[in-house]
Chains A and B, each alone.
Chain A
Amino acid sequence: MRKSTLFCAAAAAAISSGWAMADPDDDELVINGEIEIVTEAPAPEHVENLDTIYSGWRFRTDETQALEMDDFDNPAMVLVDKAVDAYGMPDGTEAKSCASCHDDVETFTGLAATLPKVGEDGKLHTIEDLINTCRTERMGAEPWKWSGEPMQTMAALIVSQSRGLPVNVSFDGPARSFWEQGKEMYYTRYGQLELSCANCHEDSFGLMIRADHLSQGQTNDFPVYRLKQAKLISKHNRFKGCIRDTRAETFAEGSDEFRALELYVATRGNGLSIEGPGVRQ
């Protein structure tokens, strides 16, 4: 009894000092001096355990943050330029390019802010699904690998059309059961370390876990360019890494489980701006 009171006091002291040191910073993000990004917003009502949601950008060092403030400094934008070429390049048995059907890539403005969403087939579709449906069914081309460079650069190009627009992912109607599944996963303590997404990104954001400053694990910045790996990282690749780090059997990129988790995590960011492609250490 005495011990537990003492313990609580010690824990409270440690936690409050942690917070004071390690909250998200107060920096503001304006890309290219013109696209204003909302990196902090009131938590949506369905995110019961948070008051405020923050973009992962707010937890990064000043040097990493700076790389996202100007497209000339953002290494992901070099890849986006490559995707602009790929967008106009005919491929597959139909010899069509994206541009053959969609005209300018600007026609995709707003799309990324609403994904993933349920299609007419009743399935949940991510940006990777939409891209591969065009490739296989309309172009007669091979599908791209989920986290491969052609897929993620094209995803980055399409996402970047929505920068500055509020994330507004729906989970009503047909999306509801996927959302429930994703929520269940978010709170499941996987692996031998028995850690859930919520343990790290809801209970402990702002704190250090070894050398990592924990963010809320938001996805409004994806795909992100990871300097350490020098490439674009998909959401599913990030989820896979986080689950693997709990000493768990992870799920596959492009699995239905990760689609559902992606939907749930995206709705936790409703109200932040689309910011991708972002930059991370």
Chain B
Amino acid sequence: MRLSIFLAATFLVGAAATAEEIAPGDVVFEDGAVAQSLSGQPGDPENGKVLMDKGAGNCIACHSVTALSDLDFHGEIGPLLDGAGERWTEAELRGIVANAKMMFPESMMPSFYRITGFIRPGDAYTGKTIDPAAIAPLLSAQEVEDVVAYLVTLKD
């Protein structure tokens, strides 16, 4: 069971990698921003909206977003994201989501598209260890693009 999920995941990553995807270690940051789409594809704001609430995104654990006020329990750790699409360019938002520590050194915000440099990384939320070679980014390249596409819609 677990093996087949693992194989399916590997297959998906492998398939996605053919589409001009930029690997986590190859992302080029300029003043914290990332100019190029990580997947080589445009993002889907609808899926981005889902990721704000669910899965490895779970952005509203730390941030509040008025446009998502139908969802319960928004966090207060990071700034209110209203107007993020106005404060920041798409490239800056991509940089912040991929690795916020490039824009805000020491930030409490996790790096969503990074796979190295962790202390005692674990296998998801099991508390058990993980082979460093098996670490996947918290969000896939396309998921980062989707979240960024959603953030861009947050005007005013």
* B2 close to chain A: CB less than 8 A: no
Nearest residue (CB) in B for A206 is B76
**Interface readout for B131-142 with A: 1 if CB under 8 Å, 0 if not?**
000010010000
**When chains A and B are docked, how far (Å) is the Cα of A224 from the Cα of B141?**
42
**When chains A and B are docked, how far (Å) is the Cα of A6 from the Cα of B88?**
10
* B92 close to chain A: CB less than 8 A: yes
**When chains A and B are docked, how far (Å) is the Cα of A208 from the Cα of B111?**
20
A3-B92, A190-B120, A191-B118 known; A14+B75 contact, CB < 8 A: no
State the Cβ distance, A211 to closest chain B Cβ, in Å: 4
Chain B 108-137 interface residues, beta-carbon cutoff 8 Å to A? 108, 110-111, 118-130, 135
A195-B108, A249-B128 known; A10+B119 contact, CB < 8 A: no
What's the interface size class on A, roughly?
35 or more
Contact indicator B108/A191 (Cβ below 8 Å):
no
What's the interface size class on B, roughly?
35 or more
**Interface readout for A245-281 with B: 1 if CB under 8 Å, 0 if not?**
1111110000000000000000000000000000000
* A32 close to chain B: CB less than 8 A: no
A3-B88, A191-B119, A193-B110 known; A249+B76 contact, CB < 8 A: no
A192-B138, A195-B108, A249-B127 known; A14+B122 contact, CB < 8 A: no
Q: Which residues of B contact A18 (CB under 8 A)?
A: 76
Contact indicator A209/B75 (Cβ below 8 Å):
yes
Contact indicator A188/B119 (Cβ below 8 Å):
yes
Tally A-B pairs: CB < 8 A. Answer: 100
* A204 close to chain B: CB less than 8 A: yes
* A244 close to chain B: CB less than 8 A: yes
**Interface readout for B75-94 with A: 1 if CB under 8 Å, 0 if not?**
11111100100011000100
A3-B92, A192-B110, A209-B62 known; A249+B75 contact, CB < 8 A: no
* A210 close to chain B: CB less than 8 A: yes
**When chains A and B are docked, how far (Å) is the Cα of A209 from the Cα of B58?**
11
Contact indicator B125/A249 (Cβ below 8 Å):
no
> B122 contacts which of A6, A189, A248 (Cβ < 8 Å)?
A248
**When chains A and B are docked, how far (Å) is the Cα of A204 from the Cα of B78?**
10
Q: Most chain-B CB neighbours within 10 Å: which of A209, A243, A249?
A: A249
Contact indicator B108/A204 (Cβ below 8 Å):
yes
* A31 close to chain B: CB less than 8 A: no
Q: Which residues of B contact A246 (CB under 8 A)?
A: 122
* B72 close to chain A: CB less than 8 A: yes
Name A's interface SS.
mixed
* B11 close to chain A: CB less than 8 A: no
A3-B92, A6-B87, A209-B61 known; A191+B122 contact, CB < 8 A: yes
Nearest residue (CB) in A for B86 is A6
> B108 contacts which of A203, A244, A249 (Cβ < 8 Å)?
A203
> A208 contacts which of B75, B92, B122, B125 (Cβ < 8 Å)?
B75
State the Cβ distance, A84 to closest chain B Cβ, in Å: 34
* B97 close to chain A: CB less than 8 A: no
* A230 close to chain B: CB less than 8 A: no
Contact indicator A207/B75 (Cβ below 8 Å):
yes
**When chains A and B are docked, how far (Å) is the Cα of A173 from the Cα of B122?**
35
State the Cβ distance, A215 to closest chain B Cβ, in Å: 14
Nearest residue (CB) in B for A250 is B127
Q: Most chain-B CB neighbours within 10 Å: which of A7, A199, A244, A247?
A: A247
Q: Which residues of A contact B88 (CB under 8 A)?
A: 3
20 pairs, CB–CB < 8 Å, chain A vs chain B: A10-B83, A15-B79, A191-B119, A191-B121, A192-B135, A192-B138, A194-B111, A195-B108, A199-B108, A208-B73, A209-B62, A209-B75, A210-B58, A210-B61, A210-B75, A244-B122, A244-B125, A245-B125, A248-B119, A249-B120
Which residues of chain B have a CB within 8 Å of any CB of chain A? 58, 60-62, 64, 72-80, 83, 87-88, 92, 108, 110-111, 118-130, 135, 138
